[in-house]
Amino acid sequence: MENKQQEHVHLLIIGSGPAGYTAAIYASRANLKPVLYQGIQPGGQLTITTEVENYPGYPEGIQGPEMMVDFEKQATRMGADIRYGMATAVDFSKQPYKVTIDEEKEITADAIIIATGASAKWLGLPSEQRLNGSGVSACAVCDGFFFRGKEVAIVGAGDTAAEEALYLSKMCTTVHMLVRKHEMRASKVMQDRVLKTSNIIVYWNTETEEVLGDKKVEAVRVRNNQTGETKDVPVSAFFVAIGHQPNSAIFKDYLQLDEQDYIVTVPGSSRTSIEGVFACGDVQDKIYRQAVTAAGSGCMAALDAERYLSAKEHQ
């Protein structure tokens, strides 16, 4: 598209959520005049999380969307320029770097912080989306606490699924683990732990047909893909642990990504493979994936960007 609107900014932050907003707060305080584009889901994954009880400073807990409104208000109060819009293309081949917003506006920036997050992978069942936040969750560490003393189901076969099943087994009476094949993908040590845990029941060769319940999860209908037999397992929650997809596709031609498409950062920093481009939050973190760690890495990215821009000005 020719004749795009053009604008130059000192520091551009792509993505909201705890990482992007924290980066904006710190960058504003450092007088970097950051411009932040919120992306397709302003507030990120927390906007589809109901109750957040493990973020420090909220003794009564807080609703995910409300917390993200607080983050945004704080960033705005500090002076961040927060805008609606989505980065649709980038060109990091030379400085200043170019980012296209909504395919129609071209922003050039002296430094860029990427905070585009990751999206949970879902099975694609209508009932899974309908009951999302009412017993269906993609994060056992975030939401398992609400189902202590109850029976729950988890679907997945990798290390994350095994780890989350073990986490749930400590607070739930029974964990029904649904595995699509006759074996798990998880590492041997994680498999052994799962199989040795008495209140985790593993269902092999099992597909999820439907999550049952009107207003909240009441059961899950499963089908054995060898015998064709179906049955309803009564549960209060259904956890999906089949992985996350980092929102990194538009950067793949320029930045180093790992085999799962997470942006690679220099250990102990937010620096990417391109000078002046920083990454924070879940787009570069496949291990912790918590709001508080995302916020911490957003702080790191802003401090790294400040040092980079300051050094550049004094060259």
Pairing of strands 5-14, 105-114: parallel
DSSP string for residues in 106-142: EEEEEEEEE---EEE-----HHHHHTBTTTEES-HHH
Query: How far is it, in rounded angstroms, from Cα 239 to Cα 164?
Result: 9
| Tokens representing residue 178 in the block | 């649904």
Whether 279 and 257 have beta carbons less than 8 Å apart is answered as no
Query: How far is it, in rounded angstroms, from Cα 66 to Cα 1?
Result: 37
Torsional sign, CA 18, 24, 25, 26 = positive
Whether 278 and 304 have beta carbons less than 8 Å apart is answered as yes
Query: How far is it, in rounded angstroms, from Cα 111 to Cα 142?
Result: 33
| Tokens representing residue 118 in the block | 């990751």
The residues that are catalytic are: 139, 142-143
DSSP single-letter state for residue 76: H
Residue 119: closest CA among 289, 2, 257: 289
Element at 240 (helix H, strand E): strand 237-240
Torsional sign, CA 137, 139, 145, 150 = positive
